[in-house]
Amino acid sequence: MKFTKMQGLGNDYVYVNCLEETVEHPAETAVKVSDRHFGIGADGLILIKPSEKADFEMEMYNADGSRGEMCGNGIRCVAKYVYDYGLTDRTHISIETLGGIKYLDLTVEEGKVRQVKVDMGSPILEAEKIPIIGLGDRVLDAPIQADGMEYHITGVSMGNPHGVVFLEDVKNLKIEQVGPLFEHHGCFPNRINTEFVHVLDRQAVEMRVWERGSGETLACGTGACAVAVACVLNGLTEEEVTVKLLGGDLLIQWDRRQDRVYMTGPAKVVFDGVWPDA
């Protein structure tokens, strides 16, 4: 199986061109290739496939083999792959995901994609559609218990479920202890990605993320979008905000008039290779 390892702000995945390759057991393959000791090492596996509804389809699997609806950093890398590897010559493309069709604008320098702006669509705020149960119809700064502590959470779906928790300090957060408590909490029937956020000012926040099925990652694009939406809903920032992640910065804008979220950030190739055990 030929593959390309790519990363967006350190959120790394193994990418396979399924216009040429066939992956028979993608969930099992995702677990094997993601292993950072015995595999390639990644946050998951992303298959680039043909689509009847869009220019391409992105099929995403987390490191534990579970299927993911959408990945913001991943979709930017898909855009870079299809352009840099000659699958398209267009700089405005559409990509089908389980979280809907996304539209992307590619910034090209010297024949390579350097940056991608993604129309991430409209945020979903209805609790039953995220899904979140037991915290009301809309989850806005709602109290929630985890390990005997009370936190406040705001629920947003960007095609996949997110819970945003605002804290005074995220640098010293013991996320490996707290993250799983949210991921497997009874209020989240499909599990949840949890963003722990400290607001720096009206234009910038810093966040760490615990992704369901992968643990802490260096960045989460959909999570950054959810954070921007939650910040605006809670009156903490402007509609355009720089989200500072462990792997770097993303610029997120929630255009409330259009009710569209836009994410702008980089995508990079790490290396190409061949996996012998697909």
Was 206 annotated as part of a binding site?
Answer: no
Was 172 annotated as part of a binding site?
Answer: no
Which pairing describes strands 240-245 and 215-217: parallel, antiparallel, or unpaired? unpaired
Instruction: Sort residue 121 into left (φ over 0), alpha (ψ -120 to 50) or beta.
Output: left
Which pairing describes strands 193-201 and 204-211: parallel, antiparallel, or unpaired? antiparallel
Was 160 annotated as part of a binding site?
Answer: yes
Q: Of 71, 77, 187, 225, which one is the catalytic site residue?
A: 71
Cβ–Cβ < 8 Å for 254, 156? no
Was 264 annotated as part of a binding site?
Answer: no
Was 8 annotated as part of a binding site?
Answer: no
Helix 72-84 vs helix 221-233: crossing angle, to nearest 10: 130
Give the Cβ contact number of residue 200 at 10 Å: 13
Residue corresponding to tokens 């899904």? 131
Q: Of 77, 220, 225, 231, which one is the catalytic site residue?
A: 220
| Residues in CB range of 174: below 8 A, 6 or more apart | none
Was 222 annotated as part of a binding site?
Answer: yes
Is residue 187 annotated as a catalytic residue, yes or no? Answer: no
Was 183 annotated as part of a binding site?
Answer: no
Was 193 annotated as part of a binding site?
Answer: yes
Which residue, among 171, 175, 261, has the nearest Cα to 221 in the 3D structure? Answer: 261
Which residue, among 41, 44, 79, has the nearest Cα to 60 in the 3D structure? Answer: 44
Is residue 77 annotated as a catalytic residue, yes or no? Answer: no
DSSP-derived 3-state class of residue 126: strand
Which residue, among 36, 72, 40, 75, has the nearest Cα to 57 in the 3D structure? Answer: 75
Binding-site positions: 11, 62, 72-73, 160, 193, 211-212, 221-222
Residues with catalytic roles: 71, 220
Binding-site positions for substrate: 11, 62, 72-73, 160, 193, 211-212, 221-222
